[in-house]
Structure 1
Amino acid sequence: MASHDHHHTSAPNPRGLTRGAVAATLHCLTGCAIGEVLGMVVGTALGLSNLATIVLSVVLAFVFGYSLTLRPVLRSGLTLAAALPVALASDTVSIAVMEVVDNLVMLLIPGAMDAGLTRWLFWASLAGSLVIAFVLTVPVNRWLIARGRGHAVVHQYHHAGHQHH
């Protein structure tokens, strides 16, 4: 923790911090949306229970979210064993918040989980739940980045060629 203290000696640029949080949340949203949509589609198509469908969606959201983070980190030269903790530190809180909000919204919209893949209610609810999750996750990511956590952990690996430990 002490190694990050030098980053906080001057006040961070609030606009830059917010931009970084929006970018991190968009990154998270991409992985979550891929996993979430795939999980909802597969779970609904297979006639799984709402709980099983949500579990499948959450697992896939984490898999795709981490995968999107791992790609640039691995390209920077880190091994999978070294890259995995970076991805976990970078995305776990963001994905977790997004998934809790997204799935809670889906459960709160009457009939959304049972609407089926051919009904506008299902797709509108899923899209709306992801938008709400995005809006509520941006401040979480902003708070994490301001403290050198969350997506700030992975940022140094986005530019291959730097030295890494």
Structure 2
Amino acid sequence: MLNGVMLLWFLLTAASALFVALDIISTPESPVLKWGFILLTAYTGPIGAFLYVLGCREPLPGLHERYVAARWRQVLGSTMHCVAGDGIGILAGAVIASFLTLPHLADVALEYLLGFGFGWSIFQALFMRGMVGGSYRKSLTSTFIPEFLSMNVLMTGMVLTVALGRMLIGRPLNPLAPDFWFVMSVALLVGFVLAYPMNWWLVAKGLKHGMMTVRPSGPVEKEPAAEAHLDHGMGLEPPPKVRVASMAAFSVAVFALAIWLATTIGGA
């Protein structure tokens, strides 16, 4: 039965990713977020496509700016951007760790380092440097803490889901087998759900960007959350450093707890 479920999931994922890749061409969104939605759909199948239609696809010509201005859609864009970029490194780390038969903690560490490294340095700092005047160094600085907080919660969900997946399947996950990709897909989806509340806080405090609108004949139309991100909180009081430190400590604590639980589940 599991094989049938996985086959159906992969077929739906392929169809969903194709739909989003073709449809998003005409959506007036920034290029990096377009690629983000394509990647998210490749990770999460029809759920990713549903989120694209509900959260980003322009319902009628000329309405995209107002449509994506809703806070929950801004947060959707922020969370999607995180998961899309981090997911590439996380999946690469999981594949490498599997082939090297790394122990559990080393596996998690490799996935974290590659996921955070790619998501922060490429998907966040490099692709969004225009929001801080084009300076890559400044972009690295401004995106480090938001990426760190979001990544910790994303990995919390993933570590627990992968541990449960291994337990249910009853054997180590192998990238050459379909169950590896099915479990990782579910893990990224769970991580997305858990990262959403953290991204809500980050967007609300002006620490992360949300959706944007890019028209072919004009400049980027920055939504409120995007404008806040541009100068570290335009029109918003920046959160006190102690509050940011508290959120960082919380994210590390829940991630550490997830690792401990996953180790206990796996008997490693």
For Structure 1 versus Structure 2, the TM-score category normalised by the shorter chain is 0.7 to 0.9
CA contact (8 A) 1:93 1:150 kept: no
| Identity percentage of aligned residues | 28
1:27 counterpart = 2:101: no
**Secondary structure, aligned partner of 1:149:** coil
Change (3 A) 1:113 1:39: farther
The 5-angstrom pairing of residues 48-67 of structure 1 reads 48-67=102-121
Q: Partners of 1:44 and 1:144 in 2: how far apart? A: 33
CA contact (8 A) 1:28 1:95 kept: yes
Distance (Å, rounded) in 1 between the aligned partners of 2:98 and 2:187: 17
TM-score where L is the length of structure 1: 0.76
Identify the residue that residue 106 of structure 1 maps to in structure 2: 162
C-alpha deviation, 1:113, in angstroms: 7.5
Alpha-carbon distance, 1:132 to partner? 0.9
CA contact (8 A) 1:112 1:121 kept: no
**Following superposition of structure 1 onto structure 2, how do residues 10-49 of structure 1 map, counting pairs within 5 Å?**
16-49=70-103
Distance in 2, Cα, partners of 1:120 & 1:65: 25
Consecutive aligned runs of 4 or more in structure 1 exceeding 6 Å deviation = none
Rg (Cα) greater in structure? 2
The match for 1:77 is: 134
Shift of 1:137: 1.3
Distance 1:79 1:57, change over 3 A: closer
Q: Higher relative contact order at CA 8 Å, sep ≥6: structure 1 or structure 2?
A: 1
How many residue pairs were aligned? Answer: 144
Residue identity matched to 2:202: L
Q: Is the 8 A contact 1:106 1:113 kept in 2?
A: no
Normalized against structure 2, the TM-score is what? 0.49
Q: Which residue of 1 aligns with 2:230?
A: 156
CA displacement, residues 64-117 of structure 1 (integer Å, 9 cap, x when unaligned): 11021111344432251x222201133221111101211121112214771211
Distance 1:123 1:79 in 2: 33
Paired letter, 1:69: Q
Q: Is the 8 A contact 1:74 1:83 kept in 2?
A: yes
* Contact 1:73-1:83 at 8 Å conserved across structures: yes
Report if the CA contact (8 A) 2:78-2:203 is conserved.
Answer: no
Q: 1:113 to 1:38 in 2, by over 3 A?
A: farther
Kept in 1, the 8 Å contact 2:146–2:202? The answer is no
Amino acid at match of 1:125: V
RMSD: 2.5
